[in-house]
Amino acid sequence: MTLVSRIKTATQMAVKAIGGVDPAAEVSRVSRARISEYQKRHSPSVIPVDVAVALDEFAQEPLILSVMAQHLGYVLVPVHVGEGHIPSSMELVAKRAGDTMTTTVRIMADGVIDDGEAVELEAELCKLQTAVSHGLRAVRSRIKKGSQP
């Protein structure tokens, strides 16, 4: 799957998370028609970064920006990572691991992973990776505090 296809899939996911094309147009600077074009595989139009940021913000998850970061070999991690306490962090890791396994089993049920399913699984794995990063920071923060006099 090409980068443009992945961005279009992520745009579809963000629009769906927001509640559809109309709400997506309301929270961005572009029209309903333009939002629709950004989702269509045959359209050469690709979502501009400022519109992607707006949609991700209202989706409450960096769906589109994560695809861009992954293409460059990066994973997005929230700024507030590690500010929680260890039990909450471990609960999130367990939940994300369960979500990832559920998605994997569903996708593998027919024995074939298509491009869309691969993108979906990649998104789940990135969420798990973020949760693990959060857990590591919480534990490391505790270790650091414990070593102080």
Per-residue pLDDT tens digits for 70-112:
889 888 877 665 456 788 888 889 999 999 999 999 999 999 9
60 and 104 share one domain = no
For 12-54, the pLDDT digits (tens) are 999 999 999 999 999 999 999 999 999 999 999 999 999 999 9
pLDDT at 84: 62
Q: Domain range spanning residue 46?
A: 3-71
Above pLDDT 90, what percent of the chain?
Answer: 56
Centre a 10 Å sphere on the Cβ of residue 17 and count the other Cβ atoms it contains: 17
Q: What is the pLDDT of residues 114-145, one digit of tens each?
A: 988 988 898 888 888 888 888 888 888 888 77
Task: Please tell me whether residues 47 and 96 are part of one structural domain.
Answer: no
Mean pLDDT of the chain: 88
The tally of domains found in the chain comes to 2
Is-contact 61 48, C-beta < 8 A?
Answer: no
Residues 114, 62: one domain? no
Task: Let me know whether 63 and 91 are in one domain.
Answer: no
Is 81 domain-assigned? no
Domain co-membership, 67 together with 25: yes
User: Has residue 142 been placed in a domain?
Assistant: yes
Average pLDDT over residues 62-67: 92
Burial class (CB in 10 A: 0-12, 13-18, 19+), 16: middle
Q: Are 29 and 51 in contact (CB under 8 A)?
A: yes
Question: Cβ–Cβ contacts within 10 Å for residue 149, how many?
Answer: 2
Q: pTM score > 0.75 for this model?
A: no
